[in-house]
Amino acid sequence: MSGVNLTHRLPLLTTADGWEDYALLDSGAGRKLERYADHTVIRPEPQAIWQPALADEIWQAADAWFEGTDDSASRWGFNGAPAQAWPMRYADVAFEARFTPFRHLGVFVEQAAQWDWFRPLIEARTAAGRPVRVLNLFAYTGVASLIAARAGADVTHLDASKKAITWANRNQELAGLQDAPIRWIADDAVKFLRREVKRGRTYDGVLLDPPKYGRGTKGEVWQLYEGLPELLQLATQVLSEDALFLVATVYAIRMSSTSLHYGLAEALAERAGMLESGEMGVCDQAGRTLVSAIFARWQAE
C-alpha cells in the first residue's frame, strides 16, 4: 500500500464552531437559513433532507434568498434594498461578504475548521524563528491566505479569476495586512504547479480547494474527477523536505472522503506523518450537522 509511513485516521467529522459573525440558524426541506453578520439569507441545500425546526415566519423574514439550484444564473431575491457588501470577521482576520451572481457570498464557512487546524502549525514554527512558505491554490477571496499570513507565513495566493484576486486584495486591506508577504497570482493551478516542480520551488504548507468544473486564465478546462490525481501528485511534489502540512478540500459530495484519502496517500508516497480525512460541516441551532464538503489533510511527524 502506498504511504506506508503514514498513520491513517478516517473518517472524521469537522464542524466550524469558532464563528461569531456567522450562524446556521436552521436547515431542512432542501434549504438552509444562515446569518452572515447582520444579514439573514436562505440558500438551497440538497443535503438537508429533514424538516426545518424554526417557524415559517422566521424563514419568511430573511433579508435575501437564492431561488432554484442553478448556479449559472443570478436568482437572488431581497426584502428591501440589498446591501452591496458588508464586513465580517473570523478570529482576528476581517474580510468582506457580498451577494454574488451565484449562491455564494465570498466565504465558505465550514473551511474555518481547517484554518483552526493549520494556523497553530504555522505559528509554532514561526515562533521558533523558522520561516513558513504556504501555497494556496484555487484561493478565491483569500480568507485562508490571510489566516496563514496572520499566523506569520509567506503566502503565494493563486486563482484563475482576476475578479476573485481583486476581491482578495480588498480583504487584505480590511484585515490590515497590506504589508504581509503575500504574492498574488492569476494562473491555472495545474500549469503553475508543473512549472514550480521544474523550478524546484517548494512550500512548507499547501492548501487546495479545486472546483468540480472550471476554466483557467486561458480557457483551460478543469474536470475534478479527471484532473484530481495529477493535482494531488503535483501538490505533494512541491512540498519541502521539512514541510508542515497539506490540506485538500472538495465540494463534490458525490466523491467520498475515503477516495480522496487514498488518492492523497498515493501521492504522498513514502512521506511519513498523519493522514486524516472526513467530512466538513456546520451545526444548525437544532444540533444537526449539515455537511457540505469532504477533506483530506496531512501533517508531518
Cell readout for 93 is: 482576520
Q: Give the pLDDT of residue 207.
A: 98
In the chain, DSSP assigns E strands to 6-15, 22-28, 31-36, 39-44, 64-66, 76-78, 86-90, 93-97, 133-137, 154-159, 182-186, 205-208, 213-215, 221-223, 245-250, 273-283, 289-299
Of 97, 130, 163, at which residue does a domain stop?
Answer: 97
For residue 102, is it within any domain? no
Which residue type does 272 have? Answer: A
Structural contact between residues 213 and 160, judged by C-beta atoms closer than 8 angstroms: no
Answer yes or no: do 206 and 244 share one domain.
yes
The answer on pLDDT for 61 being more than 70 is: yes
Q: How far apart are CA 3 and CA 6, in angstroms?
A: 5
DSSP one-letter code for 175: T
Instruction: Say how many domains are in the chain.
Output: 2
Cell readout for 16 is: 466550524
Start-to-end CA span in the chain (Å): 19
For residue 1, is it within any domain? no
Quickly state the pLDDT bin for 223 (edges 50, 70, 90). confident
Answer yes or no: do 144 and 42 share one domain.
no
Of 68, 97, 126, at which residue does a domain stop?
Answer: 97
Of 97, 132, 151, at which residue does a domain stop?
Answer: 97
Answer yes or no: do 215 and 272 share one domain.
yes
Answer yes or no: do 70 and 27 share one domain.
yes
CA distances from 70 to 19, 43, 74, 75, 76 (A): 28, 11, 9, 9, 11
The answer on pLDDT for 218 being more than 70 is: yes
Quickly state the pLDDT bin for 247 (edges 50, 70, 90). very high
Structural contact between residues 280 and 113, judged by C-beta atoms closer than 8 angstroms: yes
Structural domain span for residue 139: 6-17+108-299
Residue with cell 497539506: 246
Q: How far apart are CA 220 and CA 6, in angstroms?
A: 34
CA distances from 79 to 33, 70, 83, 277 (A): 15, 21, 11, 40
Q: At what angle do helices 257-268 and 224-237 cross, to 10 degrees?
A: 40
Structural contact between residues 54 and 33, judged by C-beta atoms closer than 8 angstroms: yes
Structural contact between residues 63 and 71, judged by C-beta atoms closer than 8 angstroms: no
Which residue type does 202 have? Answer: T
pLDDT in tens, 103-154: 899 999 999 999 999 999 999 999 999 999 999 999 999 999 999 999 999 9
pLDDT in tens, 75-92: 899 999 989 899 999 999
The answer on pLDDT for 191 being more than 70 is: yes
Answer yes or no: do 152 and 56 share one domain.
no
Quickly state the pLDDT bin for 74 (edges 50, 70, 90). low
SS3 state of residue 208: strand
